[in-house]
Amino acid sequence: MNYRSLGKTNFKVSEISLGTWQVGGKWGSGFDDKTAENIINTAIDEGVNFIDTADVYENGLSEAAVGRVVRSRNEKVYVATKCGRQINPHVDEGYTPKALRKFVEASLKNTGLERLDLIQLHCPPTDTYYRPEIFGLFEDLKKEGKIANLGVSVEKVEEGIKAMQYDNVTTVQIIFNLFRQRPAELFFREAEKNNVGIIVRVPLASGLLTGKFDKNTSFDKEDHRNFNRDGEAFDKGETFSGVNFEKGIEAVNELNELFPDVDNLAPIALQWILNHPEVSTIIPGASKEEHLLSNLSAVDRKKLTQAQIKKMNAIYKEYIKADVHQRW
């Protein structure tokens, strides 16, 4: 495993880490503690030292599993969780210091940890980024020893750039992958200038970039890849990175032709991200141990050539860019 600096946190974190939205089993299948603990333990065995979760993942079961495993290990493993999405309706007015403090204290109890290494606002409404009192709360929580660092998870590039204007924001979690390339422009430069760590989420575009799907692939009723393709439940960009599924399949078919000897594109897609030195860590999810190990294999895989990267980017420009580039 290779390690990179995570902005102002001064943490050195595994360049491929673990996201735990579906760590207890595939989306819509229910949560299995044994599956979750096995995946998390295997990740740590393989050198992963940064795990991202959230209070709303499986109603807290993911967060609890992360805490159980991390407390049982001798290695230093950084735990990042998120708060805010429990607010219902999810509007700016619901974001109050009192509510957010309650969420942080609940996450401490749920994980069993004395302090959270990183707490992140979980894709709050855009207006929330313009309220200094919200960001000031986390300075208080830091002084109280309840958190070590504050970060944000954002839907839009502009939200990430605005968040960086608060000195106590140490990280921004953002969607970035071969099919969502806009962050590599101004956002990356601003993050580097402000020493803000970049945590890349949805790196495989909800599995689209594994190359395992075709136009006939179906998903479970409770899987967001079934019910949120047009943003019916939450931001459309969270599902397949906002890419139209059929158009995405056409682009992936081109990628399969570019790498004809590869039966799983995931390590290649992750390598494309790692080719950007501004990225601190990537947090692909895994519902099976084999998915985890496949993702981690990107670290040791032969690096992509500049010619391959150029052809990959050309596929993005031909099939994807017009539909997604300026939306997020």
Q: What are phi and psi of 279, to 5 degrees?
A: -70, 130
Q: Which residues of the chain have pLDDT under 70?
A: 24-29, 226-229, 231-234, 328
- pLDDT tens-place string over residues 263-288: 899 999 999 999 999 999 999 999 88
The distance from CA 39 to its chain's CA centroid, rounded to whole angstroms, is: 17
- And the tokens for 268? 């290649």
**Edge-to-edge strand ranges of the sheet holding 197-201:** 18-19, 50-52, 78-83, 118-122, 150-153, 169-175, 197-201, 281-282
Q: List all residues 6 or more positions away from 216 whose beta carbon is below 8 Å from its beta carbon.
A: none
What pLDDT sits at residue 308? 96
Q: What is the CATH number of the domain that holds 209?
A: 3.20.20.100
What pLDDT sits at residue 29? 61
Q: List all residues 6 or more positions away from 142 whose beta carbon is below 8 Å from its beta carbon.
A: 148, 149, 150, 168
What pLDDT sits at residue 323? 86
Whose CA is closest to 64, among 40, 100, 93, 29? 40
C-beta separation of 60 from 109 below 8 A = no
- Total structural domains in the chain? 1
What pLDDT sits at residue 59? 85
- pLDDT tens-place string over residues 192-207: 999 999 999 999 988 8
Whose CA is closest to 291, among 12, 5, 68, 23? 23
Cis peptide preceding 277, ω within 30 of 0: no
Range of the domain at 283: 3-324
What pLDDT sits at residue 25? 62
What pLDDT sits at residue 130? 97
What pLDDT sits at residue 223? 73
**Total-model pTM:** 0.93
Bridge-based pairing state of the strands 169-175 and 281-282: unpaired
